[in-house]
Amino acid sequence: MKTTTVPSILIGPGGSGGRGHIKGLREVAQRGLDCMEIEFTYGVRMKPEMAETVGALAEDLGITLSVHAPYYINLASYETDKIDASCKRILDSCQRAHLMGARKVVFHAGFYQKRTPRETYRLIRKEILDVQQHIRKAGWQVALCPEITGKPSQFGSTEELLELMQDTGCGITVDFAHLYARNQGNIDYDAVMPRLPQAFHAHFSGIEYTAKGEKKHIRTQPAHFRPLLDALINHHKNVTLICESPKPFEDAIMMKGMLEQKKRNN
């Protein structure tokens, strides 16, 4: 009987679920999960000393960390002060990520507003190159990973981010829930996977959407996750997969259980 080697798929929660970073990390380890994304949702309020403490604990526990920069970022704003503020939020996130040993910094890059997609792309590419220059000068060991977004009005289609990755050398965050909503529930994983890198950062959850795209994240159902898991294994993709449902720990545990079942079956 032919068997399929299961690639490296790390699964964990987005945020601590209100537990706080230290308790959240300990529970990630206790529950047999692999990773956790530190979410700076409304601002980078973690002090550098805390970042070092979080990083040391994660290393001791064998937990892979990533960071989600604040949500209000628009690298294509019409107002230069908003672009400057966006870059500062990203750089503050990168500094804390470096201190805690988190290698991936996730963010939503911007909005089209009244610009064409190509104009928006050029603006965002320029800002990312500038931010990367700051990162290199600072010596931070982090990678910018702009995220596939859930609404067509937002910059962040698969095509745009793959081009951005090629042009700037940045990483990518493949939010499969956003992709599902952006495409109105039409997603062919076997068509998507060959276009993606061999290893990448990813998000997943259940999601509600309207004609305008993403509405809100919802609980993750096994039937919704199974096609993605099968495709990741069949296409041998190495991913860090962050669950962003309203119950990130509970749903990440469910997802990890399905992965372990696959491993046993193989």
Q: What is the pLDDT of residues 186-239, one digit of tens each?
A: 999 999 999 999 999 999 999 999 999 999 999 999 999 999 999 999 999 999
Residue 110's nearest CA partner among 163, 78, 156, 177 is 156
Share of the chain above pLDDT 90, in %: 94
Query: What are the pLDDT digits (tens) for 55-75?
Result: 999 999 999 999 999 999 999
- Rounded distance between C-alpha atoms, residue 176 and residue 189, angstroms: 9
> pLDDT tens digits, residue range 9-18?
999 999 998 8
Provide the H-helix boundaries in the chain: 21-30, 48-61, 80-100, 117-138, 158-168, 176-182, 189-192, 222-234, 248-265
pLDDT at 54: 98
pLDDT of residue 3: 52
Task: State mean pLDDT over 253-265.
Answer: 95
Cβ-proximal residues to 227 (8 Å cutoff; 6+ apart), any chain: 189
- Pair of tokens at residue 46: 């973690």
Mean pLDDT of 37-57: 96
Residues above pLDDT 70, as percent of the chain: 98
Q: What are phi and psi of 12, to 5 degrees?
A: -170, 180
Number of C-beta neighbours around residue 12 at 10 A = 27
How far apart are the C-alpha atoms of 19 and 26, rounded to whole Å? 10
Question: 5 or 159: whose pLDDT is higher?
Answer: 159
- Write down all domains in the chain, each with its CATH number in brackets: 9-265 (3.20.20.150)
User: What is d(CA 127, CA 131) in angstroms, rounded to the nearest whole number?
Assistant: 6
The three-state secondary structure class of 30 is: helix
Q: Give the per-residue pLDDT at 148.
A: 97
What are residue 79's DSSP bridge partners?
A: none
pTM for this one?
0.95
**pLDDT number for residue 1:** 37
pLDDT, position 104:
98
Task: Give the pLDDT confidence score for residue 2 in this predicted structure.
Answer: 46
Encode 174-188: b = buried (16+ Cβ within 10 Å), e = exposed: bbbbbbbbbbeeebe
- Each residue's pLDDT tens digit, 73-125: 999 999 999 999 999 999 999 999 999 999 999 999 999 999 999 999 999 99
Q: What local confidence, expressed as pLDDT, does residue 6 receive?
A: 85
Structure confidence at residue 266 (pLDDT):
76
Amino acid code (one letter) for 20: G
